[in-house]
Amino acid sequence: MTRGLKQLIFGLIFIVIFGAISFGIYRAFQVEPTCFDKIQNQTEEGVDCGKVCGNTCFQSLEPIRVLSSNLFKIRELNGQIDYDALFRVYNPNTKFGSADTEFELKILGSAGDVILSQAGGFYILPGQTKYIYIPLLKTNTTGIRAELDIRRASWEKLEGVFNEEVRLTVKSKDYFANGKPGVSARVTGTIFNSSDFDFDKVDVVVVIFKNNIPIGANKTEMRTLLSKSDRFFEVDWVNEVPENPDRIDVEASTNVFMNSNFIRSYGTQEKFQQPF
């Protein structure tokens, strides 16, 4: 074996040994990518989120939109003014709903100053458009308009029962003026539960219109609406309604994020979702 060949063999051996040692050191100190390292790696769709982490990148979700707002002056007595506020909100996310959407309601005066501020919350289903009705807002100053600022949404993805399967249908609705003593107007009707679930609580919001402009709103709730059955509802206005409406909107919804809201025939809870 020639001297040059020996040098070549020793050189190759040295390279292999050095490479193995270097790789071992690299592997020893390398930090494996995880779903908790605050770095977008692996096949993550965002920082520590995506299918590989078994969760959803919430930053990709669109915010809840406020489509319209209305402020109704109910009465003025001894320097105090009572208002009702009505908002129309929309969730553009078709797979995610918010179990608890925190908001701040503001009533603004003629100078644009905030004369009343009140916190609250509501639930909203995937892809849902719904009314948010807030009554009994009391101020000592005349309000001009109302605003709804969405502060936070608690997003959840619904598995199993999706909101299209939870259908509450308005079968009838009627408006009556001066229908009974102490009531200036009322709306009655029936809600049909076409789903396979018995609901513990159903929220009903009624909005009356004149020339496509809301002139009043009210709400009530039903307790225990059974599957494939209907229930009567009634909302009353004690204070005078400004004019007879030419349109009535009735909206019925139930909180599908609460497992206790789904009941069986024998009163036990029905587990229906797996939020993540």
Least confident of 50-54, 89-93, 235-239: 50-54
CB 117 within 8 A of CB 106: yes
pLDDT digits (tens, 9 = 90+) for 137-162: 999 999 999 999 999 999 988 765 55
Percent of the chain exceeding pLDDT 70 equals 77
Cβ burial of 42 (10 Å; 0-12, 13-18, 19+) is middle
Position with higher pLDDT, 270 vs 183:
183
Strand, coil or helix: 3: helix
Which pLDDT score, from 0 to 100, does residue 164 have?
A: 52
Q: pLDDT at position 275, please?
A: 40
Assign 270 a pLDDT band (cuts: 50, 70, 90): very low
The mean-pLDDT minimum among 1-5, 31-35, 53-57, 245-249 falls in 1-5
- 107 DSSP β-pair partners: 116, 146
The residue that leads in pLDDT, 104 or 5, is 104
Helices (H) and strands (E) in the chain, counts: 1, 13
Average of per-residue pLDDT values in the chain = 84
Question: Which pLDDT score, from 0 to 100, does residue 273 have?
Answer: 42
pLDDT band per the 50, 70, 90 thresholds, residue 17 = confident
- Please give the average per-residue pLDDT across 185-204, as a whole number: 93
Secondary-structure class of domain 63-157 per CATH: mainly beta
What pLDDT was estimated at residue 11?
Answer: 66
Distance (Å, rounded) from C-alpha 199 to C-alpha 178?
A: 32
Taking 90 as the threshold, does the pLDDT of residue 34 lie above it? no
Whole-angstrom CA distances from 81 to 18, 84, 98, 116, 208 are 85, 10, 33, 11, 22
Residue whose entry in the numeric block shows the structure tokens 């789904």:
262
Q: Mind listing the pLDDT tens digit for each residue in 58-96?
A: 667 899 999 999 999 999 888 899 999 999 999 999 888
Q: What pTM, to 2 d.p., does this model score?
A: 0.76
Residue 244, CA atoms < 13 Å, CB-side half-sphere: 7
Say yes or no to pLDDT of 274 above 60. no
For residue 221, pLDDT beyond 70: yes
Q: Which of 55 and 143 is assigned the larger pLDDT?
A: 143
Q: Can you give the residue ranges of every domain in the chain?
A: 1-30, 32-60, 63-157, 163-263
Answer whether 250's CB lies under 8 Å from 208's CB. no
Third-level CATH fold of 163-263: Immunoglobulin-like (2.60.40)
| CA 198 to the chain's CA centroid | 22
| Residue 241 pLDDT greater than 80, yes or no | yes
Q: Which residue has the higher pLDDT, 61 or 202?
A: 202
Tell me if domain 63-157 and domain 163-263 are identical in fold.
Answer: yes
